Chains A and B, each alone.
Chain A
Amino acid sequence: MNKILLGLLIGATLGAVDGCTAWFYPEVRAQLAGIIVGSTIKGLIAGVAAGIFARKVNSILLGIIFGLAVGFVLAFLVAYMQHDHYIAIILPGSIVGLIVGYATQKYGATPATAR
């Protein structure tokens, strides 16, 4: 499996899990479906970005930092639009980015260099 696809799958899965946890917050439970879709797309974008980065740069540390940064920025944008739940959105979103950044560096195939 190539790094971009791997990042996409892990990012989307963790994003969906992240969105599902909104069920534990009664005040937003009515918007659960929208939150899950949005969170999945957020994880997916972070995963694809980390996958593309991993194809260009071969460093676990840089991959983790990049994933963390992308996850943080995306989660911050979501929290900023809601003006609420900053910690509950930014912290897990950043960690999803971190995990995706690590996974795309460590696993997944890099395509052979074109001759």
Chain B
Amino acid sequence: MSAESVPKHPMRHLSDKAITRLRSGAELADLNGTRYRLIGQVARGGMGVVYAAEDQLLQRRVALKVLDVSGSEGELANRLMREARVLALLEHPGIVPVHEVGTLADGSVFYTMKFVEGKRLDQHIESVDSTPDRLRIFVRICDAVAFAHDRGVLHRDLKPANVMVGPFGEVLVMDWGLAKILADVSGAEPNRDGDSIPRLPADGNDGNSSGTLHGRVMGTPGYMSPEQASGKIELMDARSDIFSLGAILRYLLTERLPAGPSSQRARALDAICAKACALEREDRYAAVQDLAADVSRYLDGLAVSAHRESIFDKLARFYRQYRFFIWLIAAYLLMRVLLIVVVKH
């Protein structure tokens, strides 16, 4: 080839910035054919990516979770679909509601849910300096988890990063991707109040339907119960989530807290944490409601079931609870004595 046959226009080199932009654009989900318009990526997890999208029909912002890989078949696709079904089952103010499940043009499974504008719990508590305020958040997490347990669903990945706190104080438990269905009931089943509760088919002890095989460890170190950490998923029940809740409670009581409660009150909270995080399942709270009730009793200045109080502890708690009233009575009695003395002299 002669020199004249070489094209005259010089070769253009793309900058690194442009390449990064093109690459990230190519990685974005293709929402063509859906009613959603992509706004941006919110988070990326092990299973998929969460985007902020606009529902053009209802003109609202939603969170759209889509698998990293294409195709509606396979373990991950099943798990994402299952996560959406679990969320649909759990209609509770403390659990993010699912809107729609579908498949993108490239075959990727996706589902949309409420877009939560808030902070993760671990970020939110940086601005919460008061122990009671943190405990109130914790009780609301417990309410959502207790509801899920009542519907026969275990979360199995409870940790501060999976809890969102909204701008108006709403507390939402997120990421139910590792959830396990406990109740072995399909269709509707009446609850304690006699209402009909829809249920998903239960996972077997091998956990295949949730994509969790015996011996495979899934969860977050530090928040996993011993039975979960050792892969003994057949041993997992509501008390495994209680262990994780206990770890969250301990985190809330220690992380960036400027001034903790007094030593005597701290003993009660320590006892609650210790009971929730007991290594043996039998030593933990039997139900999330019991854990939440103990924390609520602590907030109300009452005795907690996890801590055996001495007589001095009881007196101190009584004094703290009725301090002003006790001083009023004492002032009244003093005034009475002074009045008698004055009148007599």
Contacts and interface: CB of A to CB of B under 8 A. Distances in A.
Contact of B336 (A18, A25, A87, A98): A18
Contact of A91 (B324, B325, B335): B335
Contacts of A107: 322, 325
Contacts of A95: 332, 335
Q: Which of B322, B335, B336, B340 counts the most chain A CB atoms within 10 A?
A: B336
B14 interface: no
A96 B287 CA distance: 45
A91 B332 contact: no
Contacts of A24: 340, 344
B332 A92 contact: yes
B26 interface: no
B328 interface: yes
Given A102-B325, A103-B325, A107-B325, A88 B332 contact: no
Interface string B316-345: 000000101100110011011001100110
Nearest to A25: B343
Contacts of B343: 25, 88
A21 B332 CA distance: 12
A107 B340 CA distance: 31
Contacts of A91: 335, 339
Contact of A99 (B328, B339, B340, B344): B328
A14 B336 CA distance: 11
B332 to A, nearest CB: 5
Interface residues of B, number: 13
Contacts of A96: 332
A51 B343 CA distance: 33
Nearest to B322: A107
Nearest to B341: A24
Interface string A21-59: 100110000000000000000000000000000000000
A96 B329 CA distance: 9
B339 A92 contact: yes
Interface residues of A, number: 18
B332 A14 contact: yes
Interface string B181-225: 000000000000000000000000000000000000000000000
Contacts of A18: 336
Nearest to A102: B328
A87 B324 CA distance: 25
Contacts of B336: 17-18, 21, 92
Nearest to A24: B340
A93 B339 CA distance: 13
Interface string A90-115: 01100110110011001100000000
Contacts of B322: 107
A99 B335 contact: no
Contacts of A88: 339, 343
Contacts of A87: 339
B333 to A, nearest CB: 8
A86 B47 CA distance: 82
Interface string A4-16: 0000000000100
A95 B331 CA distance: 10
A32 to B, nearest CB: 14
Nearest to B329: A99
A29 to B, nearest CB: 13
Given A18-B336, A106-B324, 16 more contacts: A14-B329, A17-B336, A24-B340, A24-B344, A25-B340, A88-B343, A91-B339, A92-B332, A92-B335, A92-B339, A95-B335, A99-B325, A99-B328, A102-B324, A102-B325, A102-B328
11 contacts: A14-B329, A17-B336, A18-B336, A21-B340, A24-B344, A25-B343, A88-B343, A96-B332, A102-B324, A103-B325, A107-B322
The 3 closest A-B pairs by CB, nearest first: A24-B340, A99-B328, A95-B332
Interface of B: 322, 324-325, 328-329, 332-333, 335-336, 339-340, 343-344
Interface of A: 14, 17-18, 21, 24-25, 87-88, 91-92, 95-96, 98-99, 102-103, 106-107
